[in-house]
Structures are given as C-alpha cells and as structure tokens.
C-alpha cells in the first residue's frame, strides 16, 4: 500500500533521514522504532508532505506522492496525527472532528449552507468510538493532554483514511493512558480494517501490537521485519537495544 | 435559513433592534441620524475586516485600501460616466475584491507578520496613486458634491438605504460565518498546519476569504460615499486601517458582532469626545490598554460570556 524507497532529507549539514526504506501492506499495523533523534518524525513528515524529500520516492496505492502538498496527500487517503497535540484549540471537540469530516466530504468551500447540521452523524460516530462523546461541547484547548492526543486521532479519522499515520501517539502519556491508547489503536485496526503506521520509542509497547517493525538508527533503516525477526537481529541489538 | 440557525431569542432581539433603528430618524436630531449611519458604514467595514482577521487569523493590516478604492471607483463612475447607479454601486465592491485577489495572491504566500508588512506596502501604493493622480482622482483634495439620485439624496433617504444594505450584508456575512467555509476558516486560524493535514488547501481558502472580505469592505466604501457624497485620500490611508483593526480588537474579534460594537465605540469617541479635545485618541489609548488587560476577548466577548453561559460551549452541532 505504502512504499518508501531510499528517501533522504537534510537540514543544512545534518542528514535527518538518510536512506530509509519502508513497506506497509494493506491492513497491517506497522511500527517504526528508533531512539530519539533517529529521524522518525522527519520520516513521517516526508510521507505526509509537511516536508519534501531531497531524494528517493514515495508511493501510495501505486501512485507517486513524493512531491505532493499535504492536503493532496490527505485526499489520496493518508491522514495523520502529530507528536505534539496539534488540534484546533478554540473550536470545541465536535467542531475539531467535524471540520475534518466536512473536508473529507469535499464541502469545505460551501458558502451558503449552515455547517451546523452537516456531517453530524459521522462526527458523532467517531467521537463515540474514541470515547469523546461526553466531551463533545468542551473547548478543545482546555482539555487534558491525554484527551487532546485522543482528539488528534479523532481528527485524523474524520478524513476516513485508508492509511492512518500516528506520530508517537502515546508521547507524554501516563502508563495507564498509554495502555488505553494502544488498545484503542489495535481496536481501530481490527474493527475498521485500517492500515496503521505509527512510531514509538517505547519498545514494549511496539512489540506487543505491531505486526511489522522497521528499525531506524541515525536516519537509516536498519531492518524491517516481523517482531520476532527484529528481536533476533544482531544489528538491532548493537545499535538500539544495547543502548538501553 | 437564517431563522433556522439562530435561536428564537436572538432572532427577536435582532428584530427589535432593527425596528428601533427604522423608526429612530424622524424622532432624533439630524446630527444623530448622521452619526448612526456613519456607525453602520464603519461597522460594516470593521465586520468585513474581521472576517479575515478574527475569523481567518490573517494580518490584514491595510484593509482601508480596498474600502477607499471602492469608494473612489463609485465616485468616479458617478461623476465621470453616464453609467447607471447600480453599475457604479457594484463596480466598487467588485474592484475591491479584484484588488483583494491580486494583493492577496502575494500575501497568502507569506506568513503572519510578513503578510501584514507586504499588505501595508501594496496598500500604500494604491494610496500614493490616488494621492498623486491629481487630474483623475482630485489628488489630496478628493472629490466633492458627488451627485446622488433623489431616493438617497436626503440624509433620511441615505440612512435607510445604508441601514438596509448593511443589514443584508451582515446577514450574508453571518451565513458565510456559519457555513462549512466559515468553519474551515476558523480551523485555519487556529492551526493552519493541521488544516493542511486534513486535506484543506489553506492558501486557496485564505485567498477566497480575502476576496469575500474585501468585497464587503468595498460595499462599506460605496455606502460611505452615499452618506458623505465625497471621497478623499484619507479613505485609503494606513491610519484608517489601524483604526478599523482597533475596532475589531476593541469589540472582540472572536465574536461575530463585536467589530460592529467596536466601530460604534470609536465613532462615538471621535464625535463626542472629539468636540472637547482633539486628543480623543488619548482616551482611546487608555481604553485599549484597559481592555487588553481586563477584557482580552473584547467588549462583546465579555458581554457574551456574562450573559450567555452557552457561548463557549456551542449549540449542538456548532463549530464555535
């Protein structure tokens, strides 16, 4: 479904991503792991168009998306969440998700029809799925950090994506929140048949849910394979596990 | 459609205000009728600016350029051509929107402050043209005694005309505010990067908002000429831009009607305090400081918060 081939991106002298390969098959739950500074977030920004790669090629559903702007990549069916809570702070929770659903329905430019009654059903379904229903009318910016992260995922779901990209969905969460969020992600993958690509620096979390794991180190891909394979890889041991 | 979207109470309140405004002119002195009409015109101008500033989060620093350009277009067509009134009437806003498109095209490529700086320079260019082109625009003197058709040539006539046009404009602006377009604009204001990631072409959306806002700004410019029957370069001077920016801030730029209230406050200050001292801006300055410290959401934001518990928790299905 998603194929990343040998992409690279430098910021000045620093090669943040330098030769990354990644394959995500339909329906898979794929994790990217690597220590802080390995280039995970940069990789995700390259995939969803926030950054343009210096070299390499990204394909989604047999179509090249390497140089597309973020909004077009989104329309192709890739939605994402960000590492820091990246929401619409002055809108309420319902409005946060509704804007995404309206965009998905290609109605963002409608001028003379009240938005109030639009996309209500879809939005409510997503909020219910993610346990945000009772907070629907709260102003998003005043919610707890954990809730804002969940809202992030809800906004991404509003685009009804084929591929969901989650950048450290559990960053800054307590252990209980982390477990609940991973449970939620697993459930989304199973119930909606979503393909999910996420990154994490907490190893335990990753090995318990991911079907395929790509290990990044200093901007490069070390290996991509099944959890068992990755666990047994000597290279990974040396580069990553040895450090912790 | 409008009735659909507001609750009955606010519908009645607005209706009552409108009726009061309709019956006022015969019972109040001429001067007050004039001041009120001026408030409507300035209010519409501030409301149009707020579409991009408060709702769109863009630093539209030189909105008066479009207002003035439209006023001049209207005045020039009326004095120098034989085109019918309605053509002149729409030519102003259409020209303003076209200029908004041209200037906006460059501005939306820049972020925040740079957007504002570029707009000031391009807007000032328009001002310079009007100011220097003496033969055509009357230069620093402007144009006076622009002929108006009989139905708006009296003060009462123009008052009613302005009242009705402004009311219609506000209704349309409200519809846009509450539409998916408006909701998306609010989202862009809050977080443009996130908006790109949910499939919205942010620059195109912002540009569309600028075009719409400058159209209504142009509408205000035309109405100003209807009221004053004159145009002068100050209409597109940057000082006026700053003033309408302050109106939005003062009234509350995250509210819908706030800028209208801000305009009313500033017009009153200028008129009534201006009688006693030419340093009325001093009082405005002090007021602004107090408001920024104590009412960061502006006067309207404060009033809504006090009297309507539902303002921050919008109605079912609302976006803001």
The domain that holds A218 is classified in CATH as: 3.40.50.300
Query: How many CB pairs below 8 Å do chains A and B form together?
Result: 145
pLDDT score, position A242: 57
Half-sphere exposure of B206 (CA within 13 A, CB side): 30
* Same domain, residue pair A127 and A25: no
pLDDT surpasses 60 at B5:
no
Look up the domain containing B209 and give its range: 30-234
* Same domain, residue pair A97 and A69: no
Residue A123 placed within a domain: yes
Task: Please report which residue ranges of chain B form alpha helices under DSSP H.
Answer: 2-5, 8-23, 30-53, 64-80, 85-107, 112-132, 134-137, 155-178, 180-190, 192-197, 202-228, 238-251, 258-268, 280-294, 298-307
DSSP for B231-250, please give it. Answer: B-GGGGSHHHHHHHHHHHHH
> Which residues in chain A land under pLDDT 70?
240-244
Look up the domain containing A37 and give its range: 1-77+163-177+194-244
Mean pLDDT of B163-190: 94
CA dist B186 → A108, A178, B69 (Å) = 12, 31, 28
pLDDT digits (tens, 9 = 90+) for B123-153: 888 898 888 887 788 887 888 888 888 888 8
Task: Classify each residue of A45-76 as buried b or exposed e, where b means 16 or more C-beta atoms within 10 Å of its C-beta.
Answer: bbbbbbbebeebebebeeeebbebebbebbbb
Cα–Cα distance measured from residue B294 to residue A202, given in angstroms and rounded to the nearest whole number:
45
pLDDT score, position B1: 46
Strand pairing class (A2-11; A14-24) = antiparallel
Cα–Cα distance measured from residue A132 to residue A126, given in angstroms and rounded to the nearest whole number:
8
* Same domain, residue pair A31 and A145: no
The interface predicted TM-score of the complex, written ipTM, equals 0.87
pLDDT digits (tens, 9 = 90+) for A106-153: 888 888 888 888 889 999 999 998 889 999 999 999 998 888 989 999
pLDDT score, position B9: 78
Span between the terminal Cα atoms of chain A, in Å: 33
Reference A143, options A91, A191, A179; nearest CA is A91
Burial class (CB in 10 A: 0-12, 13-18, 19+), B149: exposed
pLDDT score, position A178: 86
Residue A187 placed within a domain: no
* Same domain, residue pair A225 and A152: no
Residue A182 placed within a domain: no
Residue A188 placed within a domain: no
Half-sphere exposure of B14 (CA within 13 A, CB side): 14
What's the whole-number average pLDDT of chain B? 87
Q: With an 8 Å Cβ cutoff, are A88 and B254 in contact?
A: no
Q: Tell me the backbone φ, ψ of residue A166, rounded to 5 degrees.
A: -120, 120
Residue with tokens 């790109």, as numbered in its chain: B196
Neighboring chain B residues of A115 at a CB cutoff of 8 Å: 178-180, 182-183, 319
* Same domain, residue pair A200 and A150: no
pLDDT digits (tens, 9 = 90+) for B278-317: 788 888 888 888 887 888 777 888 777 776 544 443 333 3
Question: Residue B263 — left, alpha, or beta (φ > 0 → left; ψ -120 to 50 → alpha)?
Answer: alpha
Which helix H or strand E contains A3, and what residues bound it?
Answer: strand A2-11
Strand pairing class (A55-60; A2-11) = antiparallel
Q: With an 8 Å Cβ cutoff, are A114 and B179 in contact?
A: yes
* Same domain, residue pair A167 and A142: no
Q: With an 8 Å Cβ cutoff, are A86 and B191 in contact?
A: yes
Residue B144 placed within a domain: yes
Comparing CB atoms, the residue among A87, A98, A103 nearest residue B199 is A103
Task: Please report which residue ranges of chain A form alpha helices under DSSP H.
Answer: 40-47, 70-76, 93-104, 120-129, 145-158, 175-192, 203-209, 227-232, 234-239
Number of domains in chain B: 1
A71 shares contact with chain B (CB less than 8 Å): yes
* Same domain, residue pair A32 and A90: no
Number of domains in chain A: 2
pLDDT digits (tens, 9 = 90+) for A87-101: 999 999 999 999 999
Q: With an 8 Å Cβ cutoff, are A114 and B320 in contact?
A: no
Residue A241 placed within a domain: yes
Cα–Cα distance measured from residue A39 to residue B315, given in angstroms and rounded to the nearest whole number:
43
DSSP B58: -
């Amino acid at each position: 479904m998603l194929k990343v081939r040998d992409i690279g991106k430098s910021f000045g002298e620093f090669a943040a991503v330098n030769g990354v390969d990644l394959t995500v098959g339909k329906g898979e739950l794929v994790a990217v792991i690597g220590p802080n500074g390995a280039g995970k977030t940069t990789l995700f920004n390259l995939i969803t168009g926030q950054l343009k790669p210096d070299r390499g090629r990204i394909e989604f559903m047999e179509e090249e998306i390497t140089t597309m702007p973020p909004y077009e990549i989104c329309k192709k069916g890739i939605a994402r969440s960000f590492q820091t809570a990246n929401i619409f702070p002055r809108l309420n929770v319902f409005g946060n998700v509704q804007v995404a659903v309206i965009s998905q329905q290609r109605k963002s430019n409608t001028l003379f029809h009240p938005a109030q009654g639009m996309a209500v059903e879809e939005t409510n379904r997503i909020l219910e799925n993610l346990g945000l229903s009772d907070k629907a009318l709260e102003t998003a910016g005043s919610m707890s950090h954990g809730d804002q992260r969940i809202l992030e995922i809800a906004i991404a779901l509003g685009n009804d994506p084929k591929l969901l990209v989650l950048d450290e969905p559990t960053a800054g969460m307590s252990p209980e929140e982390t477990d609940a969020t991973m449970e939620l992600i697993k459930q989304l993958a199973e119930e909606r048949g979503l393909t999910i690509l996420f990154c994490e620096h907490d190893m335990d979390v990753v090995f318990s849910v991911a079907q395929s794991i790509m290990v990044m180190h200093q901007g490069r891909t070390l290996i991509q394979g099944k959890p068992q394979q990755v666990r047994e890889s000597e290279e990974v041991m040396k580069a990553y596990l040895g450090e912790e | 459609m409008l009735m659909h979207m507001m609750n009955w109470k606010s519908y009645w309140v607005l209706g009552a205000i409108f009726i009061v405004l309709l019956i006022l002119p015969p019972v109040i002195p001429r001067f007050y009728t004039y001041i009120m009409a001026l408030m409507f015109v300035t209010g519409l101008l501030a409301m149009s600016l707020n579409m991009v500033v408060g709702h769109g989060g863009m630093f539209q620093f030189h909105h008066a350029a479009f207002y003035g350009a439209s006023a001049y277009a209207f005045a020039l067509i009326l004095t120098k051509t034989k085109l019918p009134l309605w053509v002149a009437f729409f030519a102003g806003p259409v020209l303003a929107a076209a200029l908004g498109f041209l200037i906006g095209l460059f501005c939306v490529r820049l972020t925040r402050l740079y957007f504002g700086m570029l707009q000031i320079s391009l807007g000032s260019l328009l001002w310079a043209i009007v100011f220097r082109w003496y033969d055509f625009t009357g230069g620093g003197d402007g144009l006076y005694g622009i002929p108006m058709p009989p139905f708006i040539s009296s003060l009462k006539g123009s008052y009613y005309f302005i009242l009705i046009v402004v009311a219609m404009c506000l209704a349309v602006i409200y519809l846009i505010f509450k539409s998916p377009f408006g909701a998306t604009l609010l989202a862009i204001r809050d977080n443009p990067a996130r908006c790109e990631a949910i499939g919205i072409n942010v620059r195109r959306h912002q540009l569309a908002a600028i075009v719409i806002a400058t159209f209504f700004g142009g509408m205000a410019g035309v109405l100003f000429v209807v009221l004053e029957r004159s145009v002068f370069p100050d209409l597109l001077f940057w000082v006026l831009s700053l003033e309408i920016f302050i109106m939005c801030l003062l009234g509350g730029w995250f509210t819908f009607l706030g800028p209208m209230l801000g305009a009313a406050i500033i017009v009153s200050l200028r008129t009534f305090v201006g009688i006693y001292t030419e340093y009325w801006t001093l009082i405005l300055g002090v007021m602004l400081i107090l408001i920024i410290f104590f009412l960061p959401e502006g006067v309207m934001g404060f009033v809504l918060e006090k009297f309507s518990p539902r303002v921050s928790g919008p109605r079912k299905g609302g976006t803001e």
